[in-house]
Structure 1
Amino acid sequence: MWGRSTAVRRLGLAVAAIAALSLTGVGIAAASNVAVGLTDSRGDIAVPTWLYLASGGGTVGAVALLTMLVTDREFIDSYHDSAREASIASGRQIGELLLGTLGVVGLVFVVAIGFVGPQIGQVSAAVLVTFVGARALLTMFAYTVGNPWPALNPWRRIAGVVPNGFATYPDRLASWPAVGALLVLIWIELIAPLSSSPRALSIAILGYTAFTIAGAVVFTPAVWFRKADPLSVWFRCYGSVAPIQRTDDGLTLRPPGARLSDDDVLTDLSGAAFAIVLVWELTYSGFVVTPPGVWTVEALVGLGLPPALVYLGLLLVGFVAFCWVYWIAAGLTRARAETYVSQRYLAIRFAPPLFAIAAGYHFAHFVGFSISLWPSLVDSLLTPLSAPVNPTVLGLTPWFGYVEIAGILLGHVLAVWVAHTVAFELFPGKLQSIRSQYPFVAVMICFTMVSLWLQALPDMPAAYVPG
């Protein structure tokens, strides 16, 4: 067994190789993809597409191979088991009360401004708070620092003060309602003018409010927001990547991604499906605004299908395809590891690393978008009832693509490392553990190359979608 110093040197070699490969793939850095569907900013590819894709896929493959050189179980465990506890019992109730009040006030503010404020999406506080504040910045905070949503969640506060618990939540449903609801939200976000019409956004938020409060009242807030509410599951999954984790006694500081190796992050196939949705939704958002996606939609609409139905069909077909590929990978892992561990359990245990990949792609999609629209968000909050004469939008420097690609690479590096850790927890033999990782590494490479290919394509307006 290698000593710890040798393992550290091997890990350092992996990091150095990542840096070298990322510099080789100049086209990857140039292909900054920000908030597909919300902005049409996209970098240019300065190298042949085949080299661009090979650099991205090769980076993930090289990281995986170099990570597999680290076989010192003591070193692997030291990363994931290290933690520092901090008790916040004295101020926890006050903090949750303040954040909960802020969440309720924010919900009322967004809905009201959506109706009475300026009806221009780019200057509306309702639109900017929703997409820049919540979808972008709050999600980034969840996976880089810690998940604040349990304290902020306004719907949980509202549902908690009314009678609830009139029915028992069926265990067989698990988190499938959250999976289905998130797919519906992704579809509605695309086909409805939510980012351009503040009034339509407010109506959608009111509909979601009625849906989620009704579910929490029927099944109790604790159960509903743990299993069935898509936003709560969204933030909890992204929050599992963060270094700060909530516990019953307070907060725990752990290395980034260490939580993903715990066996209670996901406990059923519905959780694995939700992880796949998080990866697929970013790929889908990129596909429908590129030439192949637009041509596909136009061809299907030309056959007489309604555009909304076409977008829903593509969303569901892609999701099923991603799930099928992942399920096949779980089966191949079981065969290569020659284990009696079920394919179902392997699919569940290897799914949390997908949260790290989703976080990396979310960062790449939204960091530039957030920086560009940050001044507009501040201006809209200062004067929510009137549109600024000259809204400020920041431009990004050409080298900013390196920041975005760094997010993608770090997400994949973390995912590969967590998958490596999970394999060594599941299988006693070193060779068995390493062999088990090959199918999932292949899936990661495929996901990477598909996403990078979409980033390399020019932008087009989504067909038949209101502006």
Structure 2
Amino acid sequence: MSGRRALRRRTGILCAFVLAALAVGTGIVAASNVAVGLSEQSGETSVPAWLYLATGGGVIGASALMTMLVIDRDVIASYHDDTVVFPTARLEAVGSLLLGTLGVAALVFIVVVGLVGPQLGNFSAAVLLTLVGGRALLTIIAYTVGSPWRALNPWRRIALFLPNGDATYPAWLGSWPAVGTLLALIWLELLMPLSSSARALAVVVLAYSALTIAGAVTFSPETWFRNGDPISVWFRLYGAVAPLQRTDDGLEVRYPGSRLGDDDVVTDVSLVAFVLVLVWELTYSGFIATEPGVRTVELLVALGIPPQIVYLGLLLAGFVLFWTVYWFAAAITRKRAETRLSRRYLALRFAPPLLAIAAGYHFAHYIGFSISLWPSLVDTMAAPLNPPENPTQYALTSWFGYVEIAGILIGHILAVWISHAVSFELFPGKLQAIRSQYPFIVVMVFFTMVTLYLFSMPATEPVYVPG
């Protein structure tokens, strides 16, 4: 009982630190630096940037120090192990049929409306359903409640009705096809006017459908959508952050993020890469929509490099940087902990907590975007071929930036706690477990300060981007 009281007391202190960080950020209207061309928030800082950056980084550092004071293994294990299971066999069968039908209908709707309906993004139900309903809101639901994608996935539903499974999926491929395809999609989002041309979006959706259904038919839907399909891997990993989890026994309710401490979330190096792409792509989309990013692109283009290659180079260079830093941290962790566990195994176990950081980044980027454009989605869905002349948009209040910054900080704090729990599971010695966390805490503090720095800047349009 004393351990739990201490945990509650330290949690209260940590909340005070978070509130202090938000208070220091008075006057910040954080920008959702989303390069989708549908909505743009601008922000400015009324206090020195270094002050709230230091405070934000300090919150993560302070939370790490207080977390390390929690050394009662029973308290740590209770957060990971406490669950409530609800048998849902019949509900799951009915829900899978309904959601699967809804998913196929949504796919057909996006393609048809995208090809024959209004073409401007703010007036196109196809564009708004894809970017606001899918990329933003459905992902937020995946990590705050639970991922419905397995049942909703239209391509899985279609592939199940086709002959499949003749080829054996090579084990060495892992999830590398999903990693490569996700990077390609991020790049294509910049090269093609997907947010301003519904027809271009429909063409990309058709091409993606052909690719992923071909993969499912070749290797079987279960294998392909677990390993090779980037959207399925995206929702599966984001869904691991949520309190609601699907198991063989039914639906399981857990503490938020506790699933990230399991050893079956990230099982190979390719999934480590996918996790790092999730973190990097949000940082990347923020960087290219700020003044430093624009200046960097313009400088490289002035040197004679085509803008398409510049954006691809920045995307890959940032990913390689994140990859290098992460594996360096894993090597330092192995050295400091003086363990026989391999660097690879440590990298696999400490990668899932980064999903909490990715969820915080995603929330900060897309929650304002979703709220602002939600009425437009409803208006255009009601009359997809003849939408209103001025679809409704909500204006965000001046204090909404606090919500976005809080999302970043909460994601990082949850990542720190899960890393702490993982270290105590891996290492028998308390001091050994604490020492093993230092390299990853440093990386998390760095991520926090970089992200808050990007959010402090007014958003601008990425240069050389269609639409």
Aligned to 2:126: 126
Cα distance in 2 between the residues matched to 1:10 and 1:122:
46
Aligned to 1:367: 367
1:399 Cα shift?
1.0
1:427 Cα shift?
0.5
Aligned to 1:167: 167
Cα distance in 1 between the residues matched to 2:317 and 2:252:
40
Q: Is the 8 A contact 1:4 1:72 kept in 2?
A: no
Q: Is the 8 A contact 1:2 1:72 kept in 2?
A: no
User: Are residue 14 (structure 1) and residue 17 (structure 2) matched?
Assistant: no
1:104 Cα shift?
0.3
Aligned to 1:403: 403
Aligned to 2:283: 283
- The one-character-per-residue Cα deviations of 1:160-215 (angstroms, maximum 9, x if unpaired) are 11100121000001111111111011111122100000000000000000100000
Structure 2 residue identity aligned to 1:444: M
Structure 2 residue identity aligned to 1:455: F
Aligned to 2:32: 33
User: Are residue 59 (structure 1) and residue 66 (structure 2) matched?
Assistant: no
User: Are residue 218 (structure 1) and residue 218 (structure 2) matched?
Assistant: yes
Cα distance in 1 between the residues matched to 2:190 and 2:56:
28
Q: Is the 8 A contact 2:276 2:323 kept in 1?
A: yes
Change (3 A) 1:456 1:17: closer
1:126 Cα shift?
0.3
Change (3 A) 1:352 1:125: same
Structure 1 residue identity aligned to 2:214: A
3-state SS of 1:253 partner? strand
Aligned to 1:197: 197
1:297 Cα shift?
1.4
Spell out the pairing of 1:159-308 with structure 2 (5 A cutoff): 159-308=159-308
1:34 Cα shift?
5.0
Q: Is the 8 A contact 1:190 1:465 kept in 2?
A: yes
- The one-character-per-residue Cα deviations of 1:370-392 (angstroms, maximum 9, x if unpaired) are 11111100000100001312211
Q: Please identify runs of 4+ aligned residues in structure 1 that moved more than 6 A.
A: none
Greater mean alpha carbon deviation, residues 274-283 or residues 1-10: 1-10
Cα distance in 2 between the residues matched to 1:5 and 1:232:
40
Cα distance in 1 between the residues matched to 2:315 and 2:400:
30
Structure 2 residue identity aligned to 1:87: P
3-state SS of 1:252 partner? strand
Q: Is the 8 A contact 1:85 1:253 kept in 2?
A: yes
Where does the alignment leave 5 or more consecutive residues of structure 1 unmatched?
Answer: none
User: Are residue 98 (structure 1) and residue 98 (structure 2) matched?
Assistant: yes
Aligned to 1:45: 45
Greater mean alpha carbon deviation, residues 301-310 or residues 168-177: 301-310
Q: Is the 8 A contact 2:162 2:217 kept in 1?
A: yes
Cα distance in 2 between the residues matched to 1:79 and 1:67:
13
- The one-character-per-residue Cα deviations of 1:99-123 (angstroms, maximum 9, x if unpaired) are 0000000000000000111111111
Cα distance in 1 between the residues matched to 2:255 and 2:459:
37
3-state SS of 1:30 partner? coil
1:20 Cα shift?
2.4
Q: Is the 8 A contact 1:34 1:365 kept in 2?
A: yes
Structure 2 residue identity aligned to 1:219: F
Cα distance in 1 between the residues matched to 2:400 and 2:10:
30
1:407 Cα shift?
1.2
1:12 Cα shift?
2.7
Cα distance in 1 between the residues matched to 2:182 and 2:436:
31
Cα distance in 1 between the residues matched to 2:381 and 2:129:
9
1:411 Cα shift?
0.7
Q: Equivalent pairs: percent with the same residue?
A: 64
Greater mean alpha carbon deviation, residues 162-171 or residues 31-40: 31-40
Q: Is the 8 A contact 2:24 2:52 kept in 1?
A: no
Aligned to 1:156: 156
TM-score for both structures, normalised by structure 1: 0.97
Cα distance in 2 between the residues matched to 1:34 and 1:374:
18
Cα distance in 2 between the residues matched to 1:348 and 1:288:
30
Cα distance in 1 between the residues matched to 2:122 and 2:211:
28
Where does the alignment leave 5 or more consecutive residues of structure 2 unmatched?
Answer: none
Change (3 A) 1:460 1:5: closer
Cα distance in 1 between the residues matched to 2:10 and 2:393:
44
Structure 2 residue identity aligned to 1:225: F
Change (3 A) 1:3 1:459: closer
Cα distance in 1 between the residues matched to 2:128 and 2:430:
50
Aligned residues: 466
Cα distance in 2 between the residues matched to 1:356 and 1:266:
14
